[in-house]
Chains A and B, each alone.
Chain A
Amino acid sequence: MAIMYALKSSDNEIFEVEQKVIEQSETIKKMIEDGAATGEIPLQVSSKTLAKVLEWCKQRQHKTVENENDDNKGKRKKERDEDDDIKEWENKFSDELKADKDVLFDLLLASNYLDLPALLSFLCQLVADMVAGKMPEEIRRMFNIENDFTPEEEKAITAEHGWAFQP
């Protein structure tokens, strides 16, 4: 019987999760080890974002368990098929996030807060691919950053690497 934990989102929704799934988060693993995790574990993550986090963790957990149960025979072919499956799943996961940038950014913060390095790295790559071709003004809007250069300063800094602004 798997040990279950109850996670409580910042908007008070409860998620029942297997220990193995949620232990991927170093933050929660530490809470469990320290004995701080009795009853509900309160997290500063919204229910919408937490659902996404768990979706990721379950997929990763699923993958690890299957690999452990494999014997060597036929493993290579199986791994190839699995790689395709994972790619497909990741593409779907990415597409949903690209469509809703608020969730994407919240998930980015949550993966950092929960210490999920694989998810953080995956999301950073996703954001990097999304922004690579964009102009500074678009970036400021997307990241909600104030332009603290004077117009003269901005003109000068743009001129330093003018070629980088070409398509």
Chain B
Amino acid sequence: MEITNCASSYVPADIVYQIFLKLPAKSLLRFRCVSKIWRDIIDGLSFAKKHIAFAAEQPQILPAAVPFPIGAQALHSLTYDGNSIKESDYPVLEFLNNESYDLSHIAYGLLLFENQNCRAEAFLYNPLRGEVLELPRASTPAAETYSTDYWYGMGFNNMTNTYKIVRVFPVKADDDHMSSSDGLLASEIYTMGTSSWRRISSIPPFSLSKHGVSVYGDMHWSTSWIDRIDDRMIISFDFGKEEFIQTSPPDHLVLPNYCLKLTNLRESLAIIDLSSDHQFIEIWVMKDYNKKEWAKEYRTNKCEILGNSLFFSVGAWGPSLYLYPNNEMNDNCLYIHDLKMNRLMYKIGPWRDESYRHRTKIFSYTQSILSLKNFGKLVSAAEGLRRFSFLKSARFIYVSP
């Protein structure tokens, strides 16, 4: 269609902003070239946060082996539109001979990688933009920390419009910080855009499971099975108050810990109840975060094939669920349960690589226009390759306009 020049029209920036909110990220990345004003709106911090909330982007999942197998890795994401499953044309990321870096957390369209050999070293990656940002080194000298478990989480503070990262890590006994039931832990916070981590006094009251969920701008973990198998709890990190708090699960919900799966279901915290003695999958959704009110939103028959499975990885995929069972019956496939149709819809796999078995962690991921340039100097492609063996996505390398 021929476009005529609308000489009469001058569209003010606030209307342009409203139009941008309804555009897919790919169009926006192209429209950065229109003018400096347009570029600055699209690259701005406040726009990115609003844009991701509009959910114009398709929810994706990223099946990733954790820890990554040594050697070259190319990870593709999957999208499900209610009819079919599609694998991304280009890998979301590639590692060349990765020996160290593990995918630790995904939130706000950003992937957080931590160095398994030195877990205080971490970087962020936005696959949509191809941007890599290294986080500052630890405030605590490396000698003080054991290089074992680290827990990372991302949050957003609405009051100050800032992104923050929290991490919890074990410290040696002579450190002056508080102890938990199974050792000494310390926590620190990094406000994105600043130059260093900052120690905080609050630590989680119980051991956390490795991967938490970002919802409502805060982090939420289920407690680890290490602590007390009979107690099921949710530990949240309030990024406003900068403290760990217990979030009560629904009343009368009795679950062995391994069946309590937390997820972000359409921007609400949800518990997926997969207790093996139940014939049902039940989903509890937090209706009011301030009042901590839960409601049972779904109850659906567990498909026979999933029978008494234990699940390695379960979570929301947009308005659907993905289920990755871990038992003898499982053919190493991933299952999609469509909550709208209320039935098991798809089976993906088996994964070609047997080494994935028992180790595949599925991450939910929604791409975001958020530019890491807002927070500091980016790591160049060459430097990323040299330091992290990190290749970004192939589409940044092979495709030129």
* CB proximity of B392 to chain A, nearest CB, Å: 11
The answer to whether A163 touches B35 (Cβ under 8 A) is: no
Stretch of B25-33, B253-261, B336-344 contacting A (4+ beta carbons < 8 Å): B25-33
Asked if residues A164 and B35 are in contact (CB atoms below 8 Å), the reply is no
Q: Is B22 touching A101 in the complex (CB atoms < 8 A)?
A: no
- Given the known interface contacts A102-B6, A159-B400, A162-B399, the answer about A149 and B36 at a Cβ–Cβ threshold of 8 Å is yes
- Which segment of A11-19, A36-44, A61-69, A103-111 sits at the interface? A103-111
Q: Are B6 and A128 in contact (CB under 8 A)?
A: no
Which residues of B from 13 to 51 have beta carbons under 8 Å from A? 14-16, 18-24, 26-27, 29-36, 38-39
Report yes or no: B6 in contact with A142, Cβ–Cβ below 8 A. Answer: yes
The answer to the question of B129 belonging to the interface, with a C-beta cut-off of 8 Å to chain A, is yes
- Point out the residues of chain A lying under 8 angstroms from B16, CB to CB: 143
* Chain A interface residue count, Cβ-Cβ cutoff 8 angstroms: 42
User: Does A108 contact B400, Cβ atoms closer than 8 Å?
Assistant: no
CA distance A128 to B3 in the complex (A): 15
Q: How far is the CB of A54 from chain B (nearest CB, A)?
A: 20
User: When the two chains form the complex, which single residue of B3, B14, B18, B27 contacts A142, counting CB atoms closer than 8 Å?
Assistant: B3
Does B83 reach chain A (CB closer than 8 Å)? Answer: no
Which residues 204-227 of B sit at the A interface, judged by CB distance below 8 A? none
State whether A144 touches B30 (Cβ < 8 A): no
Contact of B39 with A144 in the complex, beta carbons under 8 Å: no
> Are B130's CB and A109's CB within 8 A?
no
Q: Does B361 contact A (CB under 8 A)?
A: no
Given A158-B401, A159-B401; A102-B22 close (CB under 8 Å): no
- How many whole Å from A45's CB to the nearest CB in chain B? 13
Residues of chain A contacted by B19 (CB below 8 angstroms): 124, 127-128, 131
The majority secondary structure among interface residues of chain A is helix
Min distance, Cβ A27 to any Cβ of chain B, angstroms: 15
Asked whether, in the complex, the Cβ of B11 is within 8 Å of the Cβ of A105, the reply is yes
B76 within 8 A of A: no
Pick from A146, A148, A162: contact of B401, CB below 8 A: A162
Chain A residue at smallest Cβ distance from B11: A143
Residue B148 interfacial (CB < 8 Å): no
Closest to A157 in B: B33
Q: Is there an interface contact between B9 and A138, defined as CB atoms closer than 8 Å?
A: no
Cβ–Cβ contact B8 & A106, under 8 A: yes
Any B CB within 8 A of the CB of A135: yes
A132 touches B27 (CB 8 A): yes
Q: How many residues of B contact A (CB 8 A)?
A: 40
- Select A131's contact among B6, B21, B23, B399, beta carbons within 8 Å: B23
What residues on B are CB-neighbors of A102 within 8 Å?
6, 8-9
A128 touches B22 (CB 8 A): yes
Q: Known contacts A144-B6, A144-B9; is A131 also within 8 Å of B27 by CB?
A: yes
Indicate if the CB atoms of B4 and A101 lie closer than 8 Å: yes
Contacts of A165 in B (CB 8 A): 30, 401
Chain A window 134-165, contacts with chain B (Cβ cutoff 8 Å), 1 for yes, 0 for no: 11101111111111110000100111111111
Q: Quick check: is B396 within 8 A (CB to CB) of the other chain? A: yes
* Contact B130–A108 (Cβ < 8 Å): no
B290 at the interface (CB under 8 A from A): no
Verify A128–B31 contact, CB threshold 8 A. Answer: no
Measured between beta carbons, the chain B residues less than 8 angstroms from A132 are: 23-24, 27
Residue B181 at the A interface, CB < 8 A? no
Taking a contact as CB atoms closer than 8 A, the residue among A105, A134, A149, A164 that contacts B29 in the complex is: A164
A121 contacts B6, C-beta separation under 8 Å: no
Report A-chain residues with C-beta under 8 Å of the C-beta of B396. Answer: 162-163
Residue contact A112 to B15, C-beta cutoff 8 Å:
yes
For B38, B130, B396, B401, the residue with the greatest tally of chain A CB atoms inside 10 Å of its CB is B401
By the criterion CB–CB under 8 Å, are B32 and A138 in contact? Answer: no
Cβ-based interface call for B143 (8 A) = no
Q: How far is the CA of A147 from the CA of B19 in the complex (A)?
A: 19
B395 within 8 A of A: yes
Q: Is A72 an interface residue (CB 8 A)?
A: no
What CA separation (Å) do A143 and B15 show in the bound complex? Answer: 12
Least Cβ distance of A143 to chain B in Å? Answer: 6
A49 vs chain B, min Cβ distance (A): 11
Within 8 Å by CB of A106, from B4, B9, B38, lies B9
What is the CA–CA distance of A119 and B19 in the complex, to the nearest angstrom? 13
Say yes or no: is A116 at the interface (Cβ < 8 Å to chain B): no
Residues of chain A contacted by B22 (CB below 8 angstroms): 124-125, 128
Q: Are B4 and A154 in contact (CB under 8 A)?
A: no
Residues B35 and A101 in contact, CB atoms below 8 Å apart: no
Excluding A135-B30, A145-B35, 11 further A-B contacts by CB distance (< 8 Å) are A105-B6, A131-B27, A133-B27, A134-B3, A139-B34, A140-B35, A143-B6, A143-B34, A154-B33, A162-B399, A165-B401
The 9 closest A-B pairs by CB, nearest first: A105-B9, A128-B22, A164-B29, A161-B29, A165-B401, A163-B395, A162-B401, A163-B399, A136-B33
12 example contacts (A-B, Cβ-Cβ < 8 A) are as follows A102-B6, A105-B6, A120-B18, A128-B23, A134-B27, A139-B31, A141-B5, A142-B5, A144-B5, A149-B33, A161-B129, A163-B395
